[in-house]
Amino acid sequence: MRIAKTFDHGVAWEEGSGISQGYSINGTIYVSGQFSHDMKSTFVGAGDIKAQTRQTLENLDRVLAGFGVTKSNLAYVEIYLTDVQEHFEPCIQLFAEYMGQHRPAGSLIGVNALAFPEQLIEISAVAHT
C-alpha cells in the first residue's frame, strides 16, 4: 500500500507554485529546493551567503520536522550556489556544522541564477523515515 504525504511552510506563494515543499511516499521524503525566506515570505540575507545558508538550513529542518524526522534522516543533499568560487567555503563550513557527525551523500552545483535575483543558495534533499 502506498502512503503519500505532503508538507508546505504555509507561506503565500506556495499555493500557486504547483509543488509541495516536501513529498513523502513509502518511507522516502523528497524535499523541494529550499531557499532563504522566513515564514512571512520575506527574503532573508540579501548579499550575505552565511545568512542565506543558515535560513535555508532552518527551512530544510522545518520540512523534515513536518515528516517527523531530523537532519540525521538525510540520505542525499544537493546544494546550488550562484558563485561557487566566492561562496563554497562559507557555505560548506556552515553545512558541515549543521550536519555534525551525519554524512549524507550529496552534490554541490554551480548555477548562473536561481529563482530570485538576490538568491545565492538553494538546497534540495532526499531523506528517509
Measured CA to CA, the distance from residue 31 to residue 84 in angstroms comes to 22
pTM of the model: 0.93
In order of their start, the domains of the chain are: 4-128 (3.30.1330.40)
**pLDDT computed for residue 13 by the predictor:** 65
Measured CA to CA, the distance from residue 52 to residue 76 in angstroms comes to 20
The CA radius of gyration of the chain, in Å to the nearest whole number, is 14
Q: Starting at the edge strand that comes first in sequence, how are the strands of the sheet with 4-7 ordered?
A: 4-7, 22-25, 28-34, 121-128, 74-81, 105-110
Q: What are phi and psi of 24, to 5 degrees?
A: -120, 135
One pLDDT digit (tens) per residue for the chain, 129 residues:
677 787 777 777 667 777 788 999 999 999 999 999 998 889 999 999 999 999 999 999 999 999 999 999 999 999 999 999 999 999 999 999 999 999 999 999 999 999 999 999 999 999 999
**pLDDT computed for residue 39 by the predictor:** 87
**pLDDT computed for residue 56 by the predictor:** 98
